[in-house]
Amino acid sequence: MPQLTLHQGTVHYRDTGEGEPVLLLHGYLMDSRLWEPVVARLAPDFRCITPDLPLGAHRTPMNPGTDLSLPGIARLVADLIVALDLPRVTLVGNDLGTAVAQLVAARHPERIGRLVLTNGECFDNCPSPWFRSLVPASRVPGLLTLVFQALRLRAVRRMPFGFGLLTRGALPHDLIDDWLGAFFADPGVRRDCVKVTRGIVPTALLEPARRLASFDRPTLLAFAREDRLFPYAHGERLAAIVPGAQLETIPDSRTWVMRDQPDLTALLISEFIRNTPTGATPADATPA
């Protein structure tokens, strides 16, 4: 698995396919394999880069002192884009990766050619109420580790405060076992996760949302209506803010649109890329 050494630390990533680059960001306590069903469908036509972000299931701890607030992770993604020499990347976010993608677009837009946001943290829904207790838990030494111990039980991870509300389908237990294994394998990874969790606060995305009102790159909002964590209404609010944003509805899906509806998710992304040439402004976009 390739890796890059940034000033923040070592980032592992997967690099599949050839063509225009698409960078896909995953969520909290997950890794890049979450996107595999969509990558498999995009890779014949596009280069798909899926980094393992330092969100609790990464394999190598970041350097001590690294800023792992949401703006800090956005800076890491921007630095990763530069290190990979990716011109005008299509940036795709889901779950907490949607929050990071908004911050990259708002604060580091220079290498963003297109933006794709799916269900995830938006506005003051950061984190979702179901997970809000994790933030105070992260301030008590050892408590977050104790909470995640319970997720080793499959019955617990199916609950709403686990992974249960993220998908309409069966949970990918093998993946979740690996994610938890990464968290428990290294005290540095647990330290990173605590730092990330402390920085997920309701105010983190309010200023970026205001900045997106002047974001001038083509934007696709592909939101599932049935998501109980990250409501479809937030996609509608973003569509009213981002100039020329295209809002598409993903049916029969919750947060993990790449798992519940991989064919449609990949189709929406690929058609969006083909209809918006690199460097196009929203007004130049051809309707799908």
CB neighbour list of residue 236: distance below 8 Å, 6 or more residues apart: 247
Q: Is the pLDDT of residue 281 over 70?
A: no
pLDDT at 152: 96
**How high does pLDDT run on average in the chain?**
95
The per-residue pLDDT for range 87-133, each reduced to its tens digit, is 889 999 999 999 999 999 999 999 899 999 999 999 999 999 999 99
Domain count of the fold of the chain = 1
Say what the pTM is.
0.96
- Residue range of the domain that includes 61: 3-284
In the predicted model, what is the mean pLDDT of residues 32-58?
98
Q: Look up the CATH number of the domain holding residue 115.
A: 3.40.50.1820
Confidence band, pLDDT 50/70/90 cuts, at residue 277: confident
Q: Is the pLDDT of residue 282 over 90?
A: no
Short-list 87, 106, 79, CA closest to 208: 106
**Amino acid letter at 70?**
L
In the predicted model, what is the mean pLDDT of residues 30-35?
98
More confident residue, 282 or 32: 32
The per-residue pLDDT for range 51-80, each reduced to its tens digit, is 999 999 999 999 999 999 999 999 999 999
Cα separation of 104 and 108, whole Å?
5
Task: Please report where in the chains the tokens 């790449």 appear, as a residue.
Answer: 258
**Amino acid letter at 232?**
Y
Q: Is the pLDDT of residue 44 over 90?
A: yes
